[in-house]
Structure 1
């Protein structure tokens, strides 16, 4: 039996990349995983199939984030999925991973683009948590996927960085608000990760890969599983005394400046 056997988890944006890796890892640890997706049903079904092939349990949940009523639609799909499986209602682990991964720069971003990235990256997880707290069992876990860019000045992606800074503030404030129920809330902040979202500049240019790897003193680029394993640690029973923290998942990029 895994350390998460008997637990139910929801991972947003789990159809690919970091979200998929997190969903697969939590399922491997025994959790029943709700695999959320916004537009790519095929990606979510691939994640579910991968989990099932490994002997785990999962089901897809659809909801486009950043739109009116997104939280209500997501939770309705979550509740329906549990009922169809005959699983007990309720939630133990929520991982807010879904988000727009980049933004135009300081002088290029439009008001519409600014509003969209904040709606998806900040507003959606905020109201998803608020609508989901009644479902969360005591001693549950909330993990917000932030970013290492909150520690550096990045004018080229400033709006994206701002959304992740807001998510960090949400994490430690929420930790204080729900701590009385034994619920922990933490951020996990990846650095450069080899995902489809970074494929355009990272996978086709050996020099770009070399520069990206050099940010870490271990001289390699992060993989989705590196982040997933940290999330698994944070939601495990052993992390019951860890809350209100931002967990660095940059491979030590902060050390090299």
Structure 2
């Protein structure tokens, strides 16, 4: 975790659609990850964000231990290649969240391995790709992620996600969406996992210019600030050894033997 005031952000992107689909390539010629990074830079408060890009086809998917150890907040976008993400990298991400790293999962990342592992559920939902208008309502205006947002904002065309969304009840719900087809969706959800925070934000289908929308960019920047670790002191998560008491409990040497406890 960073010891300065800057937030080290790693944007992880599958980066497949832009290289195989002309519509996506025309919308995001530099990749969706660069549009997300540009949005963060627009909302940077004097060197607040230090941004790194990582993609699926890099060695270790761009997320070796040294990169994750230096990451305060990881932004994740995936869609067509969830199954290609190696399990050891998934475990590495999950452990970093437990230890304090923030995780922001965007759009179809709801089916990513790290998100499903942290939620412990199938994370399934209804969907329809039919140019629905999406109206996002702020339902928790006092939340830090809602800072600077109007009561609601609209995206003229997006993929529809609808309830039921198979995730645990969010610790905090910031945004809900309504679509012209009549569906609603919990589209801005927050959870705490161990020492870390997880924010799921729904918009961002690859065939729409969603990541150029200024209010979408505002939400992501606010999400990074919210998810960033708040504890600067080092924290070691170690549950593999018996805990030594701070005071003398008068426990016999026999009961102190960890082998008697099946470990």
The answer to whether the superposition gives a TM-score over 0.5 is: no
TM-score, length basis structure 2: 0.34
Higher normalized helix content (fraction of residues): 1
Please state which structure has a larger fraction of its residues in strand: 2
Instruction: Point out the structure with max Rg over C-alpha.
Output: 2
Scaled by the length of structure 1, the TM-score of the pair is: 0.34
